[in-house]
Structure 1
């Protein structure tokens, strides 16, 4: 099967910028109390569902959220499309397993996971392909399992050209929480919590955090 162009472009982009991206965001979480609180909430939810909960961060990059989630006591596996990002994640967090993979075809059995974290990783997927992604999240989640999404709020994408001087470019898509919620519900993952915060610092848009749960019945 031929790989869609947007996946190849996303992989090439993050392979190219992986080192600079990792350096830029290495300590970002320490300056973001809302993000830390949302991550801790997600950890509490999956641990409350099952003490031995197995979780995946899909689109984990260099592990900047995967590592802290592991330190919160969650058994987490990082998945990313970019081999270079996975290489850096393994180096930074040797205690956490990381794999190269796509959110369209996750390496987990049906119902294997109690949690899926997707932190600003659906933002490169064309809107018409999001139902496939959410169906895959629903497939790997066990009944009662939790999904957390984070993304920028808006309607118009931002295109990054030649970041750090590298000859690559990529669209960063902004989304509306209401529309994402509808797609999740259709995929069998009704939203249980929706949080939107105002931009901070150099952020150009509000930021959304959605929690959804796979029904137990």
Structure 2
């Protein structure tokens, strides 16, 4: 899928995804692990925020939510009206260098082609700066596919595998702090990575 096709897919599926997923769960609780690593009153950027119920609503009030789809941002504006919202590709974030203390990317990076994942992690590092902390889904397998019939539409998924993802993060300057497992919004067990950008 080309970027405009992925964006169009999310425009069509954002509401269905928000309606079908559980806004609570153990992966939402992992946000406390991220916040424990951040200073008081942190600036947090939530990548792929969607409707905001799972992550953005559990972050500090003035956090920044970024999504590829305007539909998701409209939902987030209702769910978390105090959040700052921006429509953008995660490879080109509309955020200044080294302004964020933390960054969340739940079930987001694997919607970008795996060949571009190093670009994503480099952009995350740019926004975080030294000492910033990332909490992201850690894909267990290696795949690149379009799932037809997903949420009644189709969606692109791509990942290089667990070990390669951790290697890419280290190459981008991240130190791996933990790889906890939690329940994802659709009820499956998912591994996450908590990592600090050390430059």
What TM-score do the two structures reach when normalised by structure 2?
Answer: 0.88
Q: Is the contact made by 2:135 and 2:194 (CA closer than 8 Å) also made in structure 1?
A: yes
1:6 and 1:177 mapped to 2: Cα distance? 24
Partner of 2:108: 121
Equivalent residues of 1:160, 1:172 under 8 A apart: yes
Q: Which residue of 1 aligns with 2:155?
A: 170
CA distance in 2, matches of 1:215, 1:189: 6
Return the alpha-carbon distance in structure 2 between the equivalents of residues 106 and 155 of structure 1: 26
CA distance in 2, matches of 1:101, 1:199: 24
Number of residue-to-residue matches in the alignment: 199
User: How many angstroms apart in 2 are the aligned matches of 1:104 and 1:11?
Assistant: 14
For the pair 1:154 / 2:141, whether they are aligned, the reply is: yes
Displacement of 1:158 in angstroms is 5.4
Report the equivalent of 1:53.
42
Task: Give 1:104's aligned residue.
Answer: 91
**What displacement does 1:102 show?**
1.2
SS of structure 2 residue aligned to 1:172: strand
Corresponding residue number in structure 2 for 1:42: 34
| 1:150, distance to aligned residue in structure 2 (A) | 1.1
Q: Which has the higher helix share?
A: 1
State the 4+ residue runs in structure 1 displaced beyond 3 angstroms. 156-159, 162-166, 196-203
Q: CA RMSD in A?
A: 2.4
Structure 1: unaligned runs, 5 residues or longer: none
1:15 matches 2:11: yes
- Distance (Å, rounded) in 1 between the aligned partners of 2:178 and 2:34: 11
Specify the alignment match of 1:64 in structure 2.
53
Larger RCO, structure (CA 8 Å, separation 6 or more): 2
Structure 2, gaps ≥5 residues long:
none
Cα separation, 2, equivalents of 1:178 and 1:150 = 13
CA distance in 2, matches of 1:105, 1:39: 24
Is 2:168 the counterpart of 1:189?
A: no
Offset of 1:198 from its aligned partner?
A: 8.4
Q: Deviations over 1:158-202 (max 9, x none)?
A: 532244545xx2222355322111001111112111124589986
1:12–1:177 distance in 2 versus 1, CA, 3 Å:
same
